[in-house]
Amino acid sequence: MSRKASGQWPVVRGHGIVILCLFLLSACDKSGGEAYKKGEELWAAERYSDALTQYEKVVSKNPEGHLATDALYQIGNIYYLNLRDYQKAIDSYRKLVETSPGSPFSPDAQRRIAEIYREKFGDLKGALSEYQRFVKVFPKEADRARYRMAECYILLKEFDKAREQYENILKESPDIDYEDDVLYQIANSYYLEGKTGEAKKGFEELVGKFPETRFTADARFGIALACEEEGNLQEALTRLTQLKGIYHDQKVLDLRIRGIQDRMEEKKKPARRKR
């Protein structure tokens, strides 16, 4: 079972994110400010190598200045989004986080480091290490990193560790607006692990607490699957039938219903005598 999660960071794209900094250029070192502005223009024109040269000038002119930290972020973005040189992207993002953790762009830089390890390198353990670093450096935003850590643990089939992260989210961030999502992931992790009893309890908790969210139908579907796994075919069939017109994938629902019906018909047939 799967369901697209809502416990995710907002997506940050493109060079427009730091437009808000341009109004400060007049107060900065003139040459650094001009280089930064030129870098923005060249990036917009898709002249990536030339843009990198301008941003690197900003960093070298005034390494301690706020434009230098923003330029490091932009350098990382160009390597990541445009040139797909992921190691150089990591190097730039890492330098930003280590030298200026208070920059408004540092949390996103650390997130992207973890994202590169997970999605580009396929290194789940490396990604976990980077998400752990995020939790340590940016504790106020730790819930999103914990969510992604849990996803990595699920892929590694380390279900207890995944649930530990989900539980930490609920404990440390009780006011999140995606509690239903987290409860669903906890229950689903039990199902994936083959612990249908715990999964059923988890799905029932979600339905009881959130009877009308986008995860409710999935939880009800999960309860039905747990019933089927436990051999309660009639209950599973009843629950699945009640989801007609509600569940988001009617083809999957119909296949599951027919499968249970076939099993029930097979059970009605008399056993063949052995010769």
Q: Please name each of the domains of the chain with its CATH number.
A: 15-122 (1.25.40.10), 177-275 (1.25.40.10)
Cβ neighbours around 32 below 10 Å, total: 20
**CA-to-CA distance for 233 and 218, rounded, in angstroms?**
18
Cβ–Cβ < 8 Å for 264, 237: yes
- Cα dihedral 119, 169, 5, 135, rounded to 10, equals -20
Whether the predicted pLDDT of 9 surpasses 90: no
18-55 pLDDT per residue, tens: 444 444 444 445 548 999 999 999 999 999 999 999 99
pTM of the model: 0.85
Q: Lowest-confidence range among 85-94, 112-121, 187-196, 260-269?
A: 260-269
Q: Which residues contact 180 (CB under 8 A, 6 or more apart)?
A: 206, 209, 210, 213, 214, 215, 216
Cβ–Cβ < 8 Å for 116, 124: no
pLDDT of residue 254: 97
243-266 pLDDT per residue, tens: 999 999 999 999 999 999 999 999
269 vs 185, more confident:
185
Percentage of residues of the chain with pLDDT beyond 70: 87
204-250 pLDDT per residue, tens: 999 999 999 999 999 999 999 999 999 999 999 999 999 999 999 99
Mean of per-residue pLDDT scores for the chain? 91
**CA-to-CA distance for 79 and 138, rounded, in angstroms?**
24
pLDDT of residue 174: 92
| Rounded to 5°, angle at Cα 271 from 196 and 254 | 45
Whether the predicted pLDDT of 131 surpasses 90: yes
pLDDT band at 275 (very low <50, low <70, confident <90, very high): low
